[in-house]
Every structure is written in structure tokens, then in C-alpha cells.
Structure 1
């Protein structure tokens, strides 16, 4: 497909959108996967990065509950498992999340977002701009 051609996407709900263009998706993906995480890893504390990662996972899963082990989260954040255990415990104590044996539940999304680094809002806004929610989803 050439850059100038629009792509048709079918969502999980069966809706079709031809407004999304491949170059937009490719640019966004390249920016998010190549530039944001390394910068975020250097600039923000583990707690902030963990909150961002949990919010992004909840967004992608379209659910506030999802399977996730501390070991996997430690790999994604490039920290020791004990650091994830500490941070997850603090976020749970703060009422943001509940976690138990490989399952995370986001209990208070707004509070979790206040714990997240600014990268989450930047990534979320860019994603929403590139892929606006379908009017029927609201």
C-alpha cells in the first residue's frame, strides 16, 4: 500500500473506518516504540513508569482487569522484580490498583494517572488524535 492511500480498518465491534492512514499509524508507532520508552526510562521514577505502563495496558486491553505477573512487568520496566513488588504494593496501598497472583485490577484510574509520568498523557493524546473514538462508542 502506498503512503497516499487510505486504509480500511475493522474494529472489534465490527465498525469500519477509512479515516486512518498507514503513514499516521507508522509514524505514531515508530515514535512511541522507539523514542518514548528509552527517554521515559531515563527520566522518570519506577513508580511513574509502572503507573504509565499499567494505564497503557488497560487502554489496550479495553479492561480495568488483566493478567500480568510482576516478573513480566519488571522486564517491561527494566527493573528488578523486587522493585516492581515495592511499587505495586505502594500503588495498591494508595488505592490505585489491586493485584493478586498474576492479575492486576485498576481500581482508581484517575489516581493512577496522577501517579503516572507525563509520557502517558502524551502517548494517549497522540493515539486519540491518530485514532479518534468512534461516535457510537461514546
Structure 2
């Protein structure tokens, strides 16, 4: 995976941020946040972003959004008990998918970045994103 672009390392370039507490159970034998904890915090922030884009109650019953891929760059060690801030936004919008770009910050430094490809499926098959979904995604664009 390529190193993150400079814009990805700046919290202000993301429209949504959430502060999360780290937990004792998140540390590895070296007393650093483990990779599973990073993935879980990115997932939690990603779900919050998706729920704010399109409330689940408004979506047709036969439509699903699914994670097609997740790529995490671990840039620095994270530490317990310091909180982390996960910043998120939409970096790309395709015909039937979009990319959520995220960065995790602790004590003023970016410690990881994440990109997740989300695909739209209707009746079990890939389908183009509905225009109202695209409109909501546009509101959550990253500025990088």
C-alpha cells in the first residue's frame, strides 16, 4: 500500500470527527494499541458516517451497502489510555461505489489512515448509486 498523501494527515480535511476512548484490552504485549483495535475504531467511525449519510430507515428493503475492501496504514504507535480522534469523509464517488477516507489522530499526530470501498447492491447484484445517495455523499467530501 502506498504511503498516505499529505492531505490525509490533516484532521481539518475531513468533514466528520469522533473522539473515542482507548481501552486496556486494546493493547498488545508491547503496551501499544493493537491492529484489531485500530480496525475496530475505524469501523465504528465508518458506520457512524454511513448512518449520517443515509438513515437506514430511508433505504429500500432490497438495497444494501457492503464493504468491498479496507486498507489501513499504521503510521505510529497508539497508546492506552489516551483518546483517539477518527476523522472521516468521502474521497471518491463512483458509479456503484464510493470510498471513505479516514485518519486516526492521537495527541496531535496522525497514527493511522484507512480507506474503505463501499459498494451498493440491490437484489443481490451491483447497482448504480441512487442520485439522492450521491447527493448525500457529496456533502461529506474530504477537502484534500
Tell me the TM-score normalized by structure 2: 0.22
Q: Which has the higher contact order (CA 8 A, sep 6+)?
A: 2
* Structure in which a larger fraction of residues adopt helix: 1
Tell me the TM-score normalized by structure 1: 0.23
* Structure in which a larger fraction of residues adopt strand: 2
